[in-house]
A and B are shown apart, each in its own frame.
Chain A
């Protein structure tokens, strides 16, 4: 099973700042099968990025994804108040999905 490790565990930033979230896989992941989700407190997750770099429908362009192989990044160019949440990466491989443990982006 591919293990995804996200860092940092918590990111403390101010609105307007840039957020860079990392997702590292224990073995190579097919880029087309790497996704990112946002989850706000008390809500279901929301798909942000699929295929490592493609924004899902309705996702603002301040969200961007990049990476390949074992290292992937989610970048939020300028944090808006509604962006403070927990973010998860996810990969599909060997007929199953695995999630990272999440990165919490909190207001500094």
Chain B
């Protein structure tokens, strides 16, 4: 079964760090574009970061320099390392697969919640 499972969310103080994981099953992360998308409470969807099948990465301006996307091919898992967290980073973080580049994110995880608060 094709599936994504995110873990690692939680309550963190402003300025803190957190690492999210996205474990894939039923397909290889190295053969797809893998993205992180977040949704702040009561708000819409926002692209955060992508790691391409060739390993190159892109980031939204709002997280550039603070967040790092990476993957562990042996574990078929994608990570999002988040540093210098701010209250406005509070959101549900979704991992998503783009099987054919540019043609939509066809598999999504259930999301993991990050709350940045003192």
Contacts and interface: CB of A to CB of B under 8 A. Distances in A.
Given A33-B102, A51-B103, A92-B102, A44 B47 contact: no
Interface string B17-48: 00000000000000000010100000011110
Contacts of A19: none
Contacts of B58: 95-96
Nearest to A43: B110
A50 interface: yes
Nearest to B103: A50
A3 to B, nearest CB: 12
Interface string A37-60: 101000011110111000011000
Contacts, number: 63
Instruction: Give the one of A32, A88, A92, A99 with max B CB within 10 A.
Output: A92
A102 B111 CA distance: 19
11 contacts: A37-B45, A39-B45, A44-B108, A44-B110, A45-B94, A50-B103, A56-B106, A96-B58, A97-B37, A99-B44, A99-B46
B11 interface: no
Interface of B is mostly: loop
B87 interface: no
A35 B110 CA distance: 20
Chain B interface size, as a band, is: 20 to 34
Interface of A: 30, 32-33, 35, 37, 39, 44-47, 49-51, 56-57, 88, 90, 92, 95-102
B82 interface: no
B103 to A, nearest CB: 4
A39 B44 CA distance: 10
B35 to A, nearest CB: 7
Contact of A44 (B35, B94, B103, B104): B94
Contact of A102 (B35, B44, B106, B108): B44
B105 interface: yes
A45 B108 contact: yes
